[in-house]
Copies of this chain bind each other. A is one copy, B any other.
């Protein structure tokens, strides 16, 4: 990126596309929708991008790279399993706050996109994420900070789903911060809602 200003228009268009993909779904968003929102004609988009698919690819790749780099930082620390688990949860809610469109696209369209070679990396990232969670949960049980009678696989799916699905209702800049949501969620997850 020798000249960041030169890529401004390109990034602007990607942001517009991401918002539309998130709102209407990738397949239901037309290149004309994107062009309309950008105030240009559909043909003009092809000056910037090869195809609609390329736009999506660029959006998802840069987000995933950023997210997994952040995960790697947590895992490289020498915190205990429970702390790492909390940090990964917080990181995820932060990602929803900072990149709601990217998360929504991933939530809504990843299953469909995974079938294409071009988006095979989405499945790889999902596997990688699963490995991270299962590792932390196993470590938590082994070191005695988590209950021994839980089904690790099931807990993983519940955590993953509940965290990411929050993108459907969480609004950046709203009353609740991502940190508030993470606090409440970790309380429920770790201690439950039943009165002691």
Q: Which residues of A contact B (CB under 8 A)?
A: 24-25, 27-28, 82, 108, 111-112, 144-148, 150-151, 154-155, 157-158, 161-162, 165-166, 168-169, 176, 181, 184-185, 187-196
Contacts and interface: CB of A to CB of B under 8 A. Distances in A.
Copies in the complex: 2
3 cross-chain pairs, A with B, having the tightest CB-CB distances, nearest first = A192-B192, A190-B194, A191-B192
A44 to B, nearest CB: 26
Contact of A188 (B158, B165, B166): B158
B158 A112 contact: no
Contacts of A24: 112
A148 B192 contact: no
A162 B158 contact: yes
B150 A161 contact: no
Contacts of A82: 194
Contacts of A157: 166, 169
A162 to B, nearest CB: 5
Tell which of A148, A150, A176 has the most Cβ of chain B within 10 Å. A150
A106 to B, nearest CB: 13
A157 B170 CA distance: 10
A189 B188 contact: yes
A188 to B, nearest CB: 6
A184 B25 contact: no
Contact of A155 (B111, B148, B188): B188
B28 A150 contact: no
A154 B184 contact: yes
Contact of A193 (B108, B161, B189): B189
A155 B191 contact: no
A193 B155 contact: yes
Contacts of A190: 192-194
A144 to B, nearest CB: 6
A146 B28 CA distance: 43
Contacts of A195: 144-148
